[in-house]
Amino acid sequence: MGLLQNILAVLVVLGLLITFHEFGHFWVARRCGVKVLRFSVGFGKPLWSTVDRHGTEFALAAIPLGGYVKMLDEREEPVPEDQLHQAFNRKSVWQRIAIVAAGPLANFLLAIVAYWALFVAGISTVAPMVGDVTPDSPAAEAGLAHGSEITAIQGDAVRSWEEINLKLISMIGFSGALNITALPEGSSSERQYSLAVDNYLARQDTPQPLQTLGMAPWQPEFPAVLGQVVDGEAAADAGLKAGDRITAIDQTPVEDWMQFVTLIRRSAGETLSVTYDREGEQGVLSLTPKSNVLESGGEVGYIGAGVEPVSWPESLQREIRYGPIEAVGQAFARTGNMVILTVDSIRKMLVGLISPSNLSGPITIAQISGDSARAGMEAFVGFLAYLSISLGVLNLLPIPVLDGGHLFYYFVEIVRGRPVSEQTQAMGLRIGLAMVGGLMAMALYFDLMRLW
C-alpha cells in the first residue's frame, strides 16, 4: 500500500511540475506568434491526445519523467512558405529568450502560489524549544540550555524548526561564531549565545544541523500506551488492546514508548512476559514479536501496534498565518530565499563543501512525495513548492540540453551579433546529454545506496 501511495504521489507531483513548466513555454510561444505543434506531458508513445483549433496536439505520454513543447522550426523540418513567420528560429533573440525562460519562471510562479496558499490557510508548527543538549558540544559550551526557545540565528528571526534548519543549512562551510538568540526557560528577556564552529556541516553525507551543534528539539514524553492494535498481528493475538499502558517487560520497568519499541525490536521470535495496565487494573500476558527481515539482511521484532498520539502543550503550538495581500510578499520572499539556498547548495556541492551523496533521484523523490502526502495537505503542498523551485533552478543551469544552455547560446548571440554555429550547438548537445545522464546516474546510485 505504501509503495502504491508513493507512486501515485510522485505521479501527481511530477505531473503538476511538468505541466506548469511546459505550459510556461507554450503560453509565451503563443504570445510571440510561434506555432506550437505538440504539447506533451511525458515521453514516448501517447496514451491520450487531442488537437485544438490552432492545430496543436496535446498529449499524455507513457513515460512520466518529463515533457516537451514542440514548435515549428526550420532546423528540425521544412516549413511551408506561408508559415515561416510562425517558426521559432525566425523570432528575435529576445523573443526566443522569453520563450525558453518561461518554463523555469512558471515553476517559480507555481511555488509562489503554493506558498501563498499555505500562508493564507495558516501553517501549524510548534515553538523551537531546545530539548537535550550534548555535554561538551558547541551548544553546551555556549551556555544554551534545555527549555530555551530559539528566536533568531545570525540576527534573522526564526519561528519554527523548519526555518531554523533552512537557516543552518544555508551556513554549510561556515567557520567562526554562529550567533543564536534564545529565550531561556522561565526568563522574560532574550540572551545571545555564540557557538564556535569550524567548516560547519562540510562534507557530511547527510547534514545534521542540530546534532552537529549538540542539541535536539524538545518533544513531549510519549508514554508506552497503545493507540492502535492491528488485528491478526502479535499484539492482538496476545490479548493487548488499544489504551493499554505497558509497564514492564520480563520484569524490566518500561518508562516510555521508545524503550518499549527498542525492547520489541531486539526480541524477534522470543516470548516476552508483558505487564500492562488496563483502566487501572494490572495484567500479565505472553507476547512473541514476529520477525521482520530488513533489506540490510538483519531482522527486527514487531507486534503490529502503534503509540497513542500525544498533544503538544498549547503554549508551544504556533500558527503562521497572513492575510491575502500580506501573504503575497511573504510567498515571494520564501520563494526567493529557497532559490538562493538551492543555487548556493549547488555551488557548495561543486566546490566540495556538500557531499554528492545528498543528490536525490526518482526513488527518493517518490518516497518523500508519499511521506508528505501521508503527512497531510500542508506538508504535500510545501514539498511541491520546494521541488518546483529545484526544477526551475536546475533547468536554468548553463548546460546544453537544458533551458539554461539555450539561454546561454542566445546571450552569446546578443554579444557576438550572430547565432552560435550549428556545429557548436551539436557538440554542446552531446556534452550536455553526457553531463545530465551522468548526474541522473549518480542520483539513482545514491538512491539505491540509501535503500540498502
Residues 6+ apart with CB under 8 A from 78: none
Q: Are strands 226-229 and 245-249 parallel, antiparallel or unpaired?
A: unpaired
What does the DSSP 8-state code read for residue 385?
A: H
Cell numbers for 299: 531482522
Distance between CA 344 and CA 364 in Å, rounded? 21
Residue carrying the nine cell digits 528540425: 76
Q: Classify 148 as helix, strand or coil.
A: coil
Give Cα 320 to chain centroid, integer Å.
20
Residues 6+ apart with CB under 8 A from 342: 389, 390, 393
Distance between CA 434 and CA 40 in Å, rounded? 24
Give Cα 305 to chain centroid, integer Å.
29
Amino acid letter, 375 = A
Cell numbers for 30: 503563443
In 143-238, at which residue ranges do the beta strands (DSSP E only) sit?
149-153, 156-157, 176-183, 191-197, 215-217, 226-229
Supply the DSSP string of 340-371, one letter for each residue: HHHHHHHHHHHTTSS-GGG---HHHHHHHHHH
Tell me if 129 sits within 8 A of 148, measured CB to CB: yes
Catalytic residue annotation: 22
The contacts found for 391-394 with CB under 8 angstroms, 24 or more apart, are: 391/17, 391/21, 391/104, 391/107, 392/21, 392/104, 392/105, 392/106, 392/107, 392/108, 392/111, 392/339, 393/104, 393/339, 393/342, 393/343, 393/346
Amino acid letter, 422 = E
C-alpha distances (whole Å) from 111 to each of 289, 331, 336 are: 45, 8, 10
Cell numbers for 193: 549565545
Supply the DSSP string of 366-424, one letter for each residue: HHHHHHHHHH-HHHHHHHHHHHHHHHHHHHTSS-TTSHHHHHHHHHHHHHHSSPPPHHH
Tally the residues of the chain: 452
